[in-house]
Structures are given as structure tokens and as C-alpha cells.
Amino acid sequence: MIDETEFTPEDIEAARILFARPATFIMGAAKIEQLPDPDLPEIAFAGRSNVGKSSLINGLVSMHKLARASNEPGRTREVNFFDLDGRMRLVDLPGYGWAKASKTTVRKFQDLGRDYLRGRVTLKRVYLLIDSRHGLKSVDKEALDALDLAAVSYQIVLTKADKLKKGEGEAVQEATLKAISKRPAAFPVVALTSSEKGLGLPELRAEIMRTTGATID
């Protein structure tokens, strides 16, 4: 089974209400010392440059310009924090797989991401975004290894599903789930999403709400 997680209509509605509340950009941290105090539950988004992280964050909160999308891969070179109504933080980690960045630059921002993963006590889960048109690539394996090493719970989120033909999405889900089945920190559900069409976003909101323990009270 691809997805054993079930959400009631009430779960979906509560998550919709939560993510409709004010979301604001707090800060971008270029050094580990600059991170905000760990006083709220956090969920983080990771993935290759240009995989659609900014679009997914914007889609979850139904805002077009909260996270800055760019056609230039590797633009996100800080850990960016967004506050959701004082109930949780959404964290955009630096992208990886930059073709035009120097090795020194890549190492600097990858180390920043790893430091965040290892030391953030309020981090509840990382959502690792994978382009559904391409599936897991060798460069993604490094990210999976880093997450397993940090012992941080992570879930694969397939993006850009609207670009696939009928039936292809389910096939990629199955293949991805099989590929991560023996990884110790991987959450055994693979989400299929499209920020452009809204596919899978209601369920992902509900999953995030459950994971963080956030409420709408």
C-alpha cells in the first residue's frame, strides 16, 4: 500500500483552517548561531534546487510570494524560517545539486543544513522533495544518508505531479517507497503533490498538523 495514513474530513478541514492563518517570513540564517530560539515545533523542507520547495510552501499557506521562488537554482543559500500564526515554523533548507556553485560554497551551505538537522530539538520532521518526473537520483542519496545519520524523521514528497501522465504518479510512488523501505529514519508514506493544481496539499497539511501537534484552538 502506498499510503496507510487516513485523514477524516474533520482532519482535512482543521488543517485547512490552520494553514489559512497568517504566515510570515521571520529570517534567513547563514550561520548556526543566527537560528531563532527553539520555542516552536518546526518542520523543514529539503530538496534539490528547482525541485519546487518555494512553490510547495506557498501552496500550503495559499500565498503566492511568502517563499521566494526563483528560476536560478541554488538561490536559497540560507535556512529560511516562516512563522505560521505563532503555532509552528516552516523551514526552507538550502537546496542541493547546484551546477554553478563552487565546491566551497556548496560545502558551506550543506554544512549549515546538517548542523541544523543535528541540533534542532524542536524539529519534528523533514519533508524531502523529489521531482516526480525524475524520481530519486544519486544526488538525493546523499541527502537521504545525511537524514538517516542525523536520525531525523523524514518523508518523501513527490512534486510536479501535474506534469505526469495518468498512472505515472502511482508508479513513481511505489518505486520511491520501495527504495526507502529499509532506511531507518524514513516515514513509510510517499506523498504525491502538485503545487500548481493543489493535488495532495490538503493531506500534506493534515500530516504536518498531526506531526507537529499544532491545534486551531
What's the pLDDT score for residue 112? Answer: 77
Q: Is 71 helix (H, G, I), strand (E, B) or coil?
A: coil
> What's the full length of the chain, in residues?
217
pLDDT above 80: residue 15: yes
Burial 100-120 (b: 16+ CB within 10 A, else e): ebeeeebeebbebbbbbbeeb
Furthest CA-CA distance within the chain: 48
Give CATH superfamily name and number for 9-212. P-loop containing nucleotide triphosphate hydrolases (3.40.50.300)
Structure confidence by residue, pLDDT tens digits, 162-206: 999 988 999 999 999 999 999 999 999 999 999 999 999 999 999
Asked whether the predicted pLDDT for residue 59 surpasses 50, the reply is yes
Residue found under cell 541544523: 116
Residue 60 has pLDDT above 80, yes or no: yes
How many whole angstroms separate alpha carbon 161 and alpha carbon 157?
Answer: 10
CA 94, 205, 1, 51: dihedral to nearest 10 degrees? -30
pLDDT at position 84 is 96
pTM equals 0.89
In this structure, the number of other CB atoms found within 10 A of the CB of residue 40 comes to: 16
Domain positions in the chain = 9-212
Q: What's the angle, vertex CA 135, arms to CA 130 and CA 138, rounded to 5? A: 90
